[in-house]
Amino acid sequence: MVYIPFMQQPVQNISHEEYLAFEEVSENKREYYQGEIFAMSGASLDHAQIITNITRATSSMRDGCRSFSNDLKVRIEYFDHTTYPDLVIICGAPEFYENRKDTITNPVVIFEVLSESTANYDRGKKIESYRALDSLREYILVDQYKVHVERYRRLDDRPGHWDFEEFKSLDGAVEIESAGVKLNLNELYYLVSFE
């Protein structure tokens, strides 16, 4: 196994198997992208509150859909990318990467709460990778600094056909069609303090 201390810069040329072995004993979470691993920073209070609010709001999803936050990895084999989304929704039976109970390959909805340090990554490499997942129907970005939610929705089963919609009012609501639930923005941003 490769020893990887806490790092600010990505570590390069690590195999995915080495990454997984390290994650099993690590106290800190890291994401993997094509031979590099990146340390995950801690979440702010507002970031954590938004995830709690999303979890609460998605508790009324249609039968067969479940949400999981923070600790479940998603593997995107096409891009050799393993991530820790802020929240995922799975509808139906989970599909595990190489029978690992901590890594899925079939999320239907992925949420990422944007921070200053992750916004470019969430809108860049992550969205490109996530779109390669055949199961993914919706990708939702939530800004923690202002009322702003972006939803990307797959229009059909052909790659590359996505719709974009944004919401900027607390009176608005995001319809998560694939899970049969509506997210009211006033609930999503409940107890969040904007500076």
Tokens representing residue 100 in the block:
């690992």
User: Which pLDDT band holds residue 63 (cuts at 50, 70, 90)?
Assistant: confident
Res 5 pLDDT > 70: no
- Domains in the chain: ranges and CATH: 1-40 (no CATH), 42-188 (3.90.1570.10)
pLDDT digits (tens, 9 = 90+) for 125-145: 999 999 999 999 999 999 999
What's the burial of 161, exposed, middle or buried (CB within 10 Å: 0-12/13-18/19+)? exposed
Pairing mode, if any, of strands 81-83 and 73-76?
antiparallel
Please state, in angstroms and as integers, the Cα–Cα distance from residue 145 to each residue in 89, 92, 194, following that order.
24, 34, 6
Most confident of 8-17, 24-33, 90-99, 117-126: 90-99
Mean predicted confidence (pLDDT) in 108-135: 92
- Residue 72's SS3 state is coil
Contact 12, 35 (CB under 8 A): yes
Of the two residues 182 and 38, the one the predictor is more confident about is 182
Q: How far apart are CA 191 and CA 133, in angstroms?
A: 33
Residue of 122, 44, 46 lying closest to 84 (CA atoms):
122
Q: How far apart are CA 160 and CA 78, in angstroms?
A: 15
Q: How many CB atoms lie within 10 A of CB 32?
A: 25
- CA 96, 117, 151, 112 dihedral sign is positive
